[in-house]
Structure 1
Amino acid sequence: MGSFDCGKVDKDTLKVKRFDLLIKKFNLKASAEDLSDSYLHALPDAVVLLDHAIEVLKFLKERAEIGIITNGIEFVQHKRIERSGIKELVDFVCVSEACGHAKPDIRFFEYAARHARDFKKENAVIIGDRYEADIVGGHRFGIDTCWFNHDELTIERPIHTYEIRSLKDLYTL
């Protein structure tokens, strides 16, 4: 898990530090601030939906409220969601930057729960592919978790409620 996700580094430091490290490693003649700005403005264009994402979201939307809870920079994440074509399929979006806390911090999950219409822990499930951020965070918050294990990894002490390898597996949960 990255330093930002663990709360070890703040967003503003991360935005520049990662490029400062890159410049030093490859002895580049560039400004970390300029590289960061270029990267952040290009990032929303780098949208690749997972196979079956739209059809599965439509299926889930008929059955439940859908929220996207994500770590990251707010303007980047909102643009990515808009450009992906899924904005109309979700009911709310919560980005860690707006909350001031990132997954797996329970405060981020509490923040997200306040954005849901009628949130009840016993009816909630987080679906995520980042074990520490999504699954451990959701487990600590007290909701069911569904690990999207597309890389077929093995966890020594699994705590997830469900596990899927493809988004289509959600049809049978």
Structure 2
Amino acid sequence: MDDIAKESIVSKKTIYQHFENKESLLLTIVKNEIAEWDTFKAELAAKKESAVIKIYRYNEFVKTRILNFNPLFIIQVSKYYRAIETEINTAADSNQTFIEGLYMELKRGDLLNDWVDISSAVKVQRVLNKLFIENCALDKKNAVNAHLHLIQSNFFGMLTSSACEELQHFISRN
């Protein structure tokens, strides 16, 4: 709690007025972060855009969130607190389900190559995300950019040519 008080420029006494212990404080932080992801996913799902654009926007959101919120924090905290680990795992499953839904949209719209297995594609993205988070300590900004490039290259490789053209057109406009 000393470190938290020092970093937040708030006294420990003030922190303890709002949180009974470190775990409740950290759980609140994690739940707020998850709520931001859920809000973004709901807004993205409501947009009248193709799944290609939605996946691109999702990956951009991931990049922004990771630049603004240290993913190493999640790994370190979840090692010590079961409730936080449970929240994180539930959120990761929810994100995976969301991405699977977008990939299903791609498949239905003939925007995904026939050889692509959706569950494998989503698992690859989840593994890449985990590897990225674990290696983020080296150089955060370059790690984020390299990760996003890898995810997007993997994504482009699965798309049909018409889907690639749609995405490239969208990127060039934005």
Q: TM-score, normalised by structure 2?
A: 0.37
Specify which structure has the bigger relative contact order, considering alpha-carbon pairs within 8 angstroms and separated by 6 or more residues. Answer: 2
Higher strand proportion (structure 1 or 2)? 1
Q: Which has the higher helix share?
A: 2
Larger Rg: 2
